[in-house]
Chains A and B, each alone.
Chain A
Amino acid sequence: MDGIGSAWRDGSLAQPNLVNIRQRIRQRFTSAGLVESPIVDNGPSPDIFFQGEDTSVRVVILDESGWGNRQAFLNSIMKATALAGKSSRTYLALPKSAASLTDARLFHERGIGLFTYDHRNVEEALPARYFEMESVAVPQTSEAVDHRLESEIRELRAQIDTLERTVQSLSEELMSLKRMPSAPEPVESFPSTRTLAPITAAESLPTFFAGNPWLEVLSRRGREEARIAR
């Protein structure tokens, strides 16, 4: 044997990789018919933006390295909050280990969806609320626009205040957990019926998977027939 099999029999779990996470998020939305569009409003950013016929999706990614960095964490949450309602759906992608410490209700109230990720998977833990976007610009008087903007800014400030308080309390909680003598095991977001041992899974899927349209076609097998039957 040429050692092909041994690599995944032993070894340890790989760390989540930002490129990989972006790739999986991209795969998810492009397979739904959306097209990735460049983000022009800020400099180097791990965020991704997708557009479809009548819809747009923004995903703010909190890198695993940023989880220990309060500034980066705050920044990601505030960005997601500020962006909620600017696209049809807004998501925040968090490491799975961080998700267990996050109160999803706060995000739910603001219509922000949550993705959780680990080294293998990116999962939609909380769906984002769909905000109807205006496809046709309605002529407005400058006074009306100003008034609307002012009220939006007021609303955003209030949201940011709430979030800052939430993040502050989360951050304190995190620090206290870190100070504990032995760190608890990461909490699984979803109950598992079977424990997979720490096998080294493929770092990523083989290269011939990239962009293969059959992944989407075949994953619908069975569902199509059920729909036709109905």
Chain B
Amino acid sequence: MSEYKEQYTFGMDFGTSDFKFGPITCGDAPKILRNRGYFPDRDSIMMRALNQAPEIVVGDDVPLYLQSSEDLSSRLVYPMRNGVIDRGDNRSWRVVNEISRFGLDMFRPKPEHGFEGFYVVASLSSVSPRYMYESLFETMTAAAKDGLVKAATVISQPFAVAIGHGVTTCVVVESGHGNTQVCPISSYPIRSALVAVNRGGGEANSITAEILKDLGYGDLAREEAFVRRVKEDLGLLPMNLERAVKAAKDSPAKFRARFKVPGTRVEVDFAEKSWQRFLIGEYVFNPQNELFQSYVTRGMPRPKDVKIGDAVFEGMIDFGEAIVRSVERCPVELQPLLYKEILLSGGNFSWQSPEKLRDFATDAPTKMKALLKEKGIKGVSVKMTKNPQHSVWHGCIIYGYAVPENYGWNWERMEGWLPGAA
């Protein structure tokens, strides 16, 4: 490994909510920014008076430019919200370009230090179509012209997770806000076995919002940040939904949950409807239960099968079935090895299991094992990644450091270095 890369390997993880980035010299934790950009209203009187509004703002300065909350949905852009950016979505691509340059500039070394540009490893969703790679390479080529990039590459997030976790044969299940990707790895990502599910943290938010409406908190249910807090604080993942719901209906006091927003008078009390806490977790893992039908009937959108880029995302498939389908696309000889190492990654797998409810509420690995057992798959090992927040960035850094400089980019294998100035 070269001395140069010991200093100038740079990782970029384009997550749905956060952009994690930084050189190898950051140590174990990267710099983290919200993966978003704000397009200020440059025609507003204040902006004209100040005469300083940039076309786009990224990083920690975004809150300084926020204008009315009505404008947020149109001016505040989260480019990776669904893991995939449309080819013609120019504003999202502007944000990706700007935030990448922002990250590289933040760590630009002094010129006299022999710096010839970073070896940049960016990580995208495994279902990203080719044009996303091409657009990101264009961004890197532009940065190379300014001396910031020596060579660049793009790897998929599940592959980066496997590298960061240190397992060479495994199945990575990466669940973000908009979707979930199941990707087997055996020294290389097995792309032909990739299964994408059109369900993620966003669906848990949707059902939480419906539950809040039923409880009489319709006004609050419109605020996404509030709904997310309720989901994280009160949502539970049942080991067995029917059993958990019955127990909660029989003794509601034991399962009662309240959530008070700090610094406000707002409090949410599930009271005798506390059994609905279990619906939140179950909906993410398995939305097929008939208990969800009443919400769908009243207008909650059901996760649909969609085609994004080149990939079909199935909406209603449960996570156990998604893993089985993915593994069964691999050689039979490899399948037992893959089941022995299933890695769960992403904030969507962080479910609390309170001590007093342990018989009914469980964590993501245990739930996943139960779903696989229903399909006749036993003796599996399911783990959370060691460091869910940073594992993709760790994988990028290790990849950038270890892969030889002369290993050129190849569109068939989707790996290798693209010289920055190409």
The residues of A with any CB-CB pair to B shorter than 8 Å are 1-2, 4-5, 7-9, 120-121, 194-197, 199, 201-202, 205-209, 211-219, 221-223
Contact = CB atoms under 8 A, between A and B. Distances in A.
Contacts of B166: 208, 211-214
A222 B415 CA distance: 10
B333 interface: no
A1 B26 CA distance: 12
B217 interface: no
Contacts of A207: 27-28
Interface of B: 1, 3-4, 6-7, 22-28, 31, 106-107, 109-110, 112-114, 116, 162-164, 166-168, 187, 387, 394-395, 397-399, 401-404, 406-407, 415-416
Given A8-B25, A211-B166, A222-B404, A202 B114 contact: no
B398 to A, nearest CB: 6
Nearest to A218: B402
The 4 A-B residue pairs with the shortest CB-CB distance in the complex, in nearest-first order: A218-B402, A222-B407, A8-B25, A196-B114
Given A208-B397, A222-B406, 14 more contacts: A4-B25, A9-B113, A197-B113, A197-B114, A199-B114, A206-B24, A206-B27, A208-B166, A209-B398, A217-B402, A218-B163, A221-B404, A222-B404, A222-B416
Given A199-B7, A221-B404, A7 B25 contact: yes
**Central interface residue in B25, B27, B31, by most chain A CB within 10 Å:** B25
B394 A120 contact: no
A63 B399 CA distance: 32
A5 B406 CA distance: 27
A120 B3 CA distance: 7
B394 A208 contact: yes
A208 B391 CA distance: 9
B31 A214 contact: no
B28 A215 contact: no
A205 B24 contact: yes
Contact of A9 (B4, B28, B110, B415): B110
A113 to B, nearest CB: 20
The residue in B31, B166, B167, B397 that gathers the most chain A C-beta atoms within 10 A of its C-beta is B166
Interface class of chain A by DSSP: loop
Contact of A217 (B116, B168, B394, B415): B168
B31 A221 contact: no
A198 to B, nearest CB: 8
Nearest to B3: A120
Nearest to A196: B114
A186 B117 CA distance: 28
Contacts of A1: 31, 106
A156 B107 CA distance: 56
B36 to A, nearest CB: 19
Contact of B3 (A9, A196, A214, A217): A196
Given A5-B106, A195-B114, A213-B168, A218 B398 contact: yes
Contact of B7 (A2, A201, A212, A221): A201
A121 B3 contact: yes
A2 B109 CA distance: 15
A206 B397 contact: yes
B389 to A, nearest CB: 13
Contacts of B26: 4-5, 206
Contacts of B404: 219, 221-223
A199 B3 CA distance: 11
Nearest to B408: A222
Contacts of B107: 4-5
A5 B113 CA distance: 13
Nearest to A10: B110
B27 A196 contact: no
18 contacts: A1-B106, A4-B22, A4-B31, A4-B107, A9-B109, A197-B113, A199-B113, A201-B25, A202-B6, A202-B7, A205-B24, A205-B401, A207-B27, A208-B394, A213-B167, A214-B168, A214-B402, A217-B187
A21 to B, nearest CB: 15
A163 B393 CA distance: 51
A202 B168 contact: no
Contact of A215 (B6, B25, B394, B398): B398
Contacts of A213: 166-168
B406 A196 contact: no
A199 B387 CA distance: 29
Q: Name, among A120, A195, A201, the residue most crowded by chain B CB atoms within 10 Å (CB to CB).
A: A201
A191 to B, nearest CB: 14
B31 A2 contact: yes
Nearest to A1: B106
Given A2-B31, A5-B107, A221-B404, A201 B3 contact: yes
A160 B22 CA distance: 53
A195 B112 CA distance: 10
Nearest to A2: B31
A1 to B, nearest CB: 6
Most buried by B among A205, A208, A223: A208
A211 B168 CA distance: 12
Contacts of A221: 403-404, 407, 415-416
B126 to A, nearest CB: 17
Contacts of A201: 3, 6-7, 25
A208 B28 contact: yes
B137 to A, nearest CB: 19
Contacts of A214: 162-163, 166, 168, 395, 398-399, 402
Contacts of A197: 112-114
B166 to A, nearest CB: 4
Contacts of B416: 221-222
A211 B1 CA distance: 15
A5 B23 contact: yes
Contacts of B22: 4-5
A213 B402 CA distance: 11
B114 A194 contact: yes
